[in-house]
């Protein structure tokens, strides 16, 4: 049939507009939300086979998303792990491996240490900074703890009020993190924060139904007082061990409710089907021989990803996944290519690596006041540990951990020579140089196979991979921490980002900073708001008459500087104070 020209033209324009809309909708990135629990192993969750703690909201995510069964932190403690989650670098590749650097525990200072920032290489940005450069609204609620102070250009808002709902334009894609501290090790303490000396503890409480939180307020258990639990063999096989497990399950229930609130908010905003939800924990569990160690109880983490289009709903994924893969995967989910400096690989999204990884790697160095150095390599079945200080005990007394009643009970059993065979393993006074565990047949990693000839080939393979990895990342664990501090803080002072220089031409301001790796941001005084971050500088900006222009320059690990200008004249340059200044 022959149509008149004007009708054909109308049809052509209509089709062009239709497909343009389709393409625009297709190209618009999903929102991404990270829901982060603390100090939580997957072994105690319904999605991973343990139904003792009711978790309806996590169960929903598991039904509607993908459960990853082989996901691992890069360290058994939070700050080094979060340095990786922020940068895509292993902590020991840039001097962030010691727990912790920004806010030392009092006993750590007895080692001669001072608060300091690790300094990433100049090309490194926080991953949220990259997202903001590409049009995402980014919020963090609210834990930071990256081993360096956050990039001032990384978040639109970071704090207890940070939320995607604060973005000025509801059509702006967002990346939002919500941290749930209720499962943290400190929530296992059963007494109010108290002054104490090592080996001298408050009297034990008799009640199992309620225990005190950090502020001394009674927090009732969210599971039955007599819940039947299975205590890991390395913990006390008595009522104290059982109570610790019940408290842990109770905290899981409370965390699940907090997850449910975020899911409800996404539904209320009509965003659930426009948002990728990633739920995980920052490392393994809160109990003794969990946190700080490189056994699976300290490294293995739960990970559930819910995709908004319902793809892969209900699936289980057994690929090896490491925290160092999270930042490149986040960018890949947003349709952005990961930068080459990142040491992990995208396992989902547009830039997903086709070949899954063969190994995961992890480190343990100083924990508060105790110094050790252990490296781990794991494939899907076997775990290899290299102990660089075999003359030092396995168990190192950390004051923070000894606030738990269950840890106090282990020490009582040790002091009365009442530990059983499994519990005594942790309290050996020396370590084997190498350890090898079959995690399928020995999930608690109690039997070292390193000297068994039947596993010589496995041992050789993992040993070689450990050496290769440490060399590839230029492992900083071999550098004395005092020397690291001297490198990061020349002459004992933090390094300063140079103040910006600017040129004005025909009402446009061109900015520059001489510090390698520094990023520049700006904002106008008339537009400042707590929920609006610095605008990333890319091209010359307008010089607005009678409006203050603030300009920030910041390199990670350095102190940032803010320049205030008015009508083209610099009023002052201010170096922002760090909390430990």
Catalytic residue positions, numbered: 78
| Cβ within 8 Å of residue 242, ≥6 positions away | 229, 231
535-536 and 541-542: which strand pairing? unpaired
Which residue blocks in 196-335 are alpha helix, DSSP H?
239-268, 296-299, 326-333
Q: CA 266 to CA 61: how far, in whole Å?
A: 13
- The helix/strand/coil state of 140 is strand
Q: How many helices (H) and strands (E) does the chain have?
A: 12, 23
| Cβ within 8 Å of residue 371, ≥6 positions away | 111, 365, 389, 481
Number of neighbouring beta carbons within 10 Å of residue 198: 10
Phi and psi at residue 410, to the nearest 5°: -60, -40
Cis check: omega of the bond before 100, within 30 degrees of 0? yes
Q: Contact 111/105 with Cβ under 8 angstroms? A: no
Among left, alpha and beta (phi > 0; psi -120 to 50; other), residue 342 is beta
State both tokens at 576. 């922002």
Cis check: omega of the bond before 142, within 30 degrees of 0? yes
- Contacts by 121-124, CB closer than 8 A, 24 or more apart: 121/94, 121/341, 121/517, 122/516, 122/517, 122/555, 123/339, 123/341, 123/517, 124/87, 124/89, 124/94, 124/341, 124/517, 124/556
Sheet harboring 535-536: ordered strands across?
Answer: 535-536, 519-524, 548-554, 561-566, 569-575
């Amino acid at each position: 049939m022959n149509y008149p020209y004007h009708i054909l033209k109308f049809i052509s324009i209509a089709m062009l507009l239709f497909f343009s809309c389709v393409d625009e909708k297709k190209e618009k990135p999903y929102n991404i939300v990270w829901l982060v629990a603390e100090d939580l192993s997957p072994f105690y969750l319904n999605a991973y086979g343990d139904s003792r703690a009711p978790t309806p909201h996590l169960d929903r995510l598991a039904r509607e998303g993908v459960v990853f069964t082989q996901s691992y932190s890069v360290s058994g403690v939070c700050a080094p792990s979060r340095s990786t989650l922020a940068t895509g670098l292993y902590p020991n590749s840039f001097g962030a491996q010691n727990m912790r650097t920004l806010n030392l525990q009092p006993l750590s200072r007895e080692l001669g240490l001072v608060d300091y920032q690790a300094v990433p290489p100049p090309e490194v940005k926080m991953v949220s900074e990259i997202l903001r450069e590409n049009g995402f609204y980014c919020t963090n609620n609210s834990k930071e703890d990256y081993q360096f102070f956050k990039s001032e250009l990384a978040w639109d808002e970071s704090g207890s009020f940070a939320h995607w709902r604060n973005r000025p334009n509801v059509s702006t894609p967002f990346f939002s993190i919500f941290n749930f501290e209720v499962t943290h090790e400190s929530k296992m303490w059963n007494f109010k924060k108290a002054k104490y000396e090592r080996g001298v503890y408050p009297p034990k409480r008799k009640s199992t139904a309620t225990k005190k939180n950090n502020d001394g307020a009674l927090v009732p258990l969210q599971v039955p007082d007599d819940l039947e639990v299975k205590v890991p063999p390395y913990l006390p096989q008595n009522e104290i061990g059982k109570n610790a497990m019940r408290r842990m399950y109770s905290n899981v229930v409370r965390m699940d409710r907090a997850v449910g609130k975020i899911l409800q908010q996404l539904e209320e905003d009509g965003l659930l089907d426009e948002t990728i939800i990633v739920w995980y924990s920052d490392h393994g569990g809160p109990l003794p021989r969990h946190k700080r160690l490189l056994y699976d109880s300290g490294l293995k983490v739960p990970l559930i990803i819910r995709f908004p289009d319902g793809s892969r709903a209900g699936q289980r994924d057994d690929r090896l996944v490491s925290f160092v893969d999270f930042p490149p995967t986040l960018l890949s989910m947003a349709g952005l290519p990961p930068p080459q400096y990142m040491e992990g690989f995208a396992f989902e999204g547009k830039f997903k690596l086709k070949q899954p990884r063969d190994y995961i790697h992890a480190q343990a160095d100083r924990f508060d006041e105790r110094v050790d150095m252990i490296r781990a390599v794991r494939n899907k079945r076997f775990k290899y540990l290299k102990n660089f200080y075999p003359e030092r005990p396995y168990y190192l007394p950390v004051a923070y951990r000894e606030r738990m009643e269950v840890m106090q009970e282990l020490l009582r059993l040790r002091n009365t020579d009442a530990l059983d065979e499994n519990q005594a393993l942790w309290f050996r006074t020396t370590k084997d140089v190498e350890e090898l565990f079959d995690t399928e047949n020995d999930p608690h990693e109690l039997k070292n196979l390193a000297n068994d000839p039947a596993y010589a080939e496995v041992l050789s393979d993992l040993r070689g991979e450990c050496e290769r990895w440490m060399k590839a990342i230029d492992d900083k664990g071999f550098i004395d921490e005092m020397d690291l501090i001297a490198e990061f803080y020349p002459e004992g002072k933090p390094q300063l980002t140079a103040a910006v220089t600017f040129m004005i031409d025909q009402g446009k301001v061109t900015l520059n900073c001489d510090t390698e790796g520094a990023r520049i941001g700006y904002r106008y005084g008339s537009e400042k708001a707590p929920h609006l971050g610095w605008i990333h500088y890319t091209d010359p900006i307008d010089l607005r008459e009678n409006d203050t222009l603030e300009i920030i320059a910041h390199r990670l690990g350095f102190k940032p500087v803010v320049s205030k200008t008015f009508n083209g004249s610099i009023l002052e340059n201010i170096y922002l104070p760090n909390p430990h200044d």
